[in-house]
Amino acid sequence: MRGAFMNTNILTSILKSSNERITSESFCAKHRIGNAFTRSRKLSFQNLIYFVLRSTHKSISIDYSEFMDSFQTSIPPFITKQALSKARQGISHEAFLELFRLSVEQFYGQSTDLHTWNGFRIYAIDGSTIQIPESAENYNVFGGNPNKTGIISPLASASILYDVLNDVIVDVSLNPYRYNERDSAKEHISFLPDFPNNIIVFDRGYPSEDMFRFLNSNGILFLMRIPKTFKKAILKEKDSMFDYPASKNKDSLTLRGIHFPLADGTTEYLVTNIMPHQLKTEKFPELYHLRWGIESKYREFKNRFEIEAFNSVKPVSIRQEFFATMYLSNLTAIVKRDADSIVSLDINNKHNYQSNRSYILNRIKCNIVFLLITSANACGKKIFQIVSEASKILSVVRSDRKFGRYRKHTRRRYYNHMKSCI
């Protein structure tokens, strides 16, 4: 099968490089908090990393029992959930953020078949509110918002830079609830892959003079949806150039305003620095529609990955799980690329099919310890097996979907009270 399994080597490389870091003394010294792990412990620094990556949303006892079953040689001793909780407070969430960034670096450094649209690489930036376990400590760290009864529930603000064509999270942050989403976007820009012809698509929360200037000065092409109230949005022509802003003592920016009707009778208003010679007017509805991928990604995090069903109640553990999920998301996406390439070759029907992401995620999580600690050859064979299995477990691609998917797990207050949490 031409093109099949071409990402298996990339994923193997990511996993082996990840384990080299996890098992290194320098990684432990860099990411331990205080004097943690300076003495011999029942549960080592590296085994705790493995546990967080492997953990599911079952009870802690079941999670840890299944974790121990992942080891074929040295088995970590069974410890109580209280001891496990205390041990986790000694690891910085930066350890999992480093593993995530390693996955991004190696994916773009080794991939040769990256998807583009009309010669452009398309990214999207957006934020979402994340519900976290209720505690005074979490509210003090993250903030929150009062509900209708006046009770303040802790909330966090997530933001991602997403490669919508290649299904890869490029950068991610988890900040306090009131953190400015434009500041998050600016922080993401430094992690944008160094490729020509990048376009970032934004929703309505990002337009501002400062944002326009920041992106333009960094040579970044952008497309932003703007509200009707935006003073330059109501344009008589479908596509026209205008100077922005009218501020004194500032050089004006030459921007492009575009609007087009939607199927529901409303009008979409966009502002961009993509000039007419770079992209024709009729291409912009399709370009902006590509942003839908980031909305789907957040739904995936909250439904399939159950990112709001934390196994932890401590701020440091919450951040550990969040960045571990981002790392696992990228591993899942790489497997899915190969599985989908087999599906596209083998399936000939009235529907388009894709491999089932939930199945891939489950297989990656169940085997993550084995994939990390085993040899490169055994790791590659296991990935090959997962890809082959995933190519046979399919779901229909519904690109024209108008209604949201059924949510298996809704956001519920006191979710963490329903099971043993650490």
**Greater pLDDT, 80 or 174:** 174
Tell me, what's the pLDDT at 153? 87
Mean pLDDT for all residues in the chain? 86
State both tokens at 280: 């024709």
Last residue of a domain, one of 218, 253, 278: 278
pLDDT in tens, 340-389: 888 866 555 555 778 888 899 999 998 999 999 999 999 999 999 999 99
Q: Count Cα atoms within 13 angstroms, Cβ side, for 46.
A: 18
| Residue 165 pLDDT > 70 | yes
Query: Is position 106 within any domain?
Result: no
Tell me, what's the pLDDT at 234? 63
Query: What pairing do the DSSP bridges indicate for beta strands 253-261 and 267-272?
Result: antiparallel
Phi, psi of 157 (to 5 degrees): -115, 115
- Co-location of 324 and 260 in the same domain: no
Closest CA to 115 of 344, 393, 404, 391: 344
Tell me, what's the pLDDT at 84? 82
Share of the chain above pLDDT 90, in %: 57
State the Cα angle at 351 between 350 and 352, rounded to 5°: 130
State the Cα angle at 415 between 411 and 416, rounded to 5°: 140
Query: Is position 260 within any domain?
Result: yes
Query: Is position 195 within any domain?
Result: no
Domains contained in the chain, number: 2
Tell me, what's the pLDDT at 311? 84
Tell me, what's the pLDDT at 348? 58
Tell me, what's the pLDDT at 1? 45
Closest CA to 195 of 169, 221, 213, 217: 221
Any idea which of 48-52, 256-260, 278-282, 399-403 has the lowest mean pLDDT? 399-403
Tell me, what's the pLDDT at 393? 85
- Co-location of 271 and 318 in the same domain: no
State both tokens at 348: 């000939």
Last residue of a domain, one of 232, 251, 278: 278
Any idea which of 23-37, 38-52, 57-71 has the lowest mean pLDDT? 57-71
Tell me, what's the pLDDT at 402? 46
What number is the average pLDDT over the span 95-111? 96
**Count of beta carbons in the 10 Å neighbourhood of residue 262:** 9
What number is the average pLDDT over the span 154-175? 97
- Co-location of 274 and 337 in the same domain: no
Query: Is position 363 within any domain?
Result: yes
- Co-location of 265 and 317 in the same domain: no
What number is the average pLDDT over the span 30-36? 91
What number is the average pLDDT over the span 185-199? 93
Distance (Å, whole) CA 201 – CA 273: 11
Distance (Å, whole) CA 195 – CA 108: 10
Query: Is position 353 within any domain?
Result: yes
Last residue of a domain, one of 233, 252, 278: 278
Q: Check: CB of residue 95 under 8 Å from CB of residue 71.
A: no
Query: Is position 124 within any domain?
Result: no
Q: What 8-state DSSP symbol labels residue 282? A: G
pTM of the entire predicted model? 0.89
Query: Is position 239 within any domain?
Result: yes
Tell me, what's the pLDDT at 66? 72
Tell me, what's the pLDDT at 312? 82
Tell me, what's the pLDDT at 113? 86
| Residue 395 pLDDT > 80 | no
pLDDT in tens, 331-354: 999 999 999 888 866 555 555 778
> Where is 421: in which H helix or E strand?
none
State the Cα angle at 58 between 319 and 305, rounded to 5°: 50
Tell me, what's the pLDDT at 421? 46
Any idea which of 185-189, 228-232, 408-412 has the lowest mean pLDDT? 408-412
Any idea which of 64-68, 185-189, 312-316, 345-349 has the lowest mean pLDDT? 345-349
Query: Is position 155 within any domain?
Result: no
- Please give the residue range of the domain that contains residue 385: 8-95+313-396
Confidence of residue 86 (pLDDT cuts 50, 70, 90): confident
pLDDT in tens, 204-233: 999 998 999 999 999 999 999 988 777 665
Q: What 8-state DSSP symbol labels residue 311? A: S
End-to-end CA distance of the chain: 46
Any idea which of 136-150, 336-350, 399-413 has the lowest mean pLDDT? 399-413
- Co-location of 344 and 389 in the same domain: yes
| Residue 63 pLDDT > 80 | no
Q: Check: CB of residue 189 under 8 Å from CB of residue 220.
A: yes
Tell me, what's the pLDDT at 349? 58
What number is the average pLDDT over the span 111-128? 95
| Residue 105 pLDDT > 80 | yes
- Co-location of 216 and 269 in the same domain: yes
Q: Is 128 helix (H, G, I), strand (E, B) or coil?
A: strand
